[in-house]
Amino acid sequence: MVSKDFIQKMETRQNYRNLWHTDLLNAVQADTPYCCFATFCSPCASYLLRKRALYNDMTRYVCCGGYMPCSGRCGESRCPEFCLATEVFCCFANSVASTRFMLQDEFNIQTTQCDNCIIGFMFCLNQVACIFSIVAMIVGSEEISQASHILNLLSDVVYCSVCACMQTQHKVEMDKRDGMFGSQPMAVPPVQGMSRIDQPYPPTVGYPPAQPQPAYGYPPAQPQPAYGYPPPGAAPPQGYPPAYPPQGYPPSGYPK
């Protein structure tokens, strides 16, 4: 059963304000060569992305990013490279998801509804293929068995495609982090820079907010003088204030 803390952290991650630099639909277009590399050599891509997400400092490495019960109990401190290689080959799906959660928690990145639909479709298709395989094994029908093989093949194609796009999305986001798009690279965060199950809430960090710039061609607004006339400290104009009462007041003939 999923704990309330885990559910609360997932809800907190949905409330993040920043967005991925590219969504899953446009990941192939954003970096086609890397997407091909992630398709045909997925574990290698996952290894390199996790190491890069840790700023190439393997002393920060924790199995599955600290999101699994076994995290921190696999001897990562003694041989982090070997542990990471074992993770990406034996638990490939968890390695990709852990890198994704690390980036989301570090930069306050939310998952868009479109990305959620794609990931949900991948999981649902995988479950349907698994159910058809079980039914085909129990019933022994040739038609159901053939349908289960087709669904399993389709599920594998979708799974490999979505994981490749997801890893390309992570790579492009780290390119943005490292200043490869013209902006300044971000500083390395502290070691405790990710949200795990044993932490209360994700840290409130992320990309610095953009400063508002004045409109092009317009000078900055000048401070307005205080209300009233004349301005404080200015000499009053000649004849100001008017003499009161005016000369010849009250008018002649007016009873006193």
166 token code pair: 């997801």
Question: Is the Cβ–Cβ distance between 129 and 155 less than 8 Å?
Answer: yes
* Cis previous bond, 230, omega within 30: yes
pLDDT of residue 185: 62
Classify residue 109 by its DSSP letter.
B
pLDDT of residue 69: 78
pTM over 0.85: no
102 token code pair: 């690390």
pLDDT of residue 231: 55
pLDDT of residue 200: 45
CA distance 54 to 60: 6
CA distance 197 to 10: 10
Q: Which residues contact 4 (CB under 8 A, 6 or more apart)?
A: none
Mean pLDDT by runs of 10 across the 256 residues of the chain is 61 81 91 94 95 92 83 83 92 91 90 87 90 87 87 91 94 91 62 46 47 48 51 55 54 54
Closest CA to 52 of 11, 84, 26: 84
pLDDT of residue 162: 93
Angle between helix axes 42-53 and 92-107 (nearest 10 degrees) is: 30
| Percent helix, percent strand, percent coil in the chain, to nearest 5 | 50, 0, 45
The per-residue pLDDT for range 204-243, each reduced to its tens digit, is 444 554 454 444 444 555 555 544 555 555 555 555 555 5
pLDDT of residue 179: 84
Question: Is the Cβ–Cβ distance between 15 and 110 less than 8 Å?
Answer: yes
CB atoms under 10 Å from CB of 99, counted, come to: 24
Instruction: Report CA dihedral (224, 225, 228, 230) to the nearest 10 degrees.
Output: -140
CA distance 67 to 90: 16
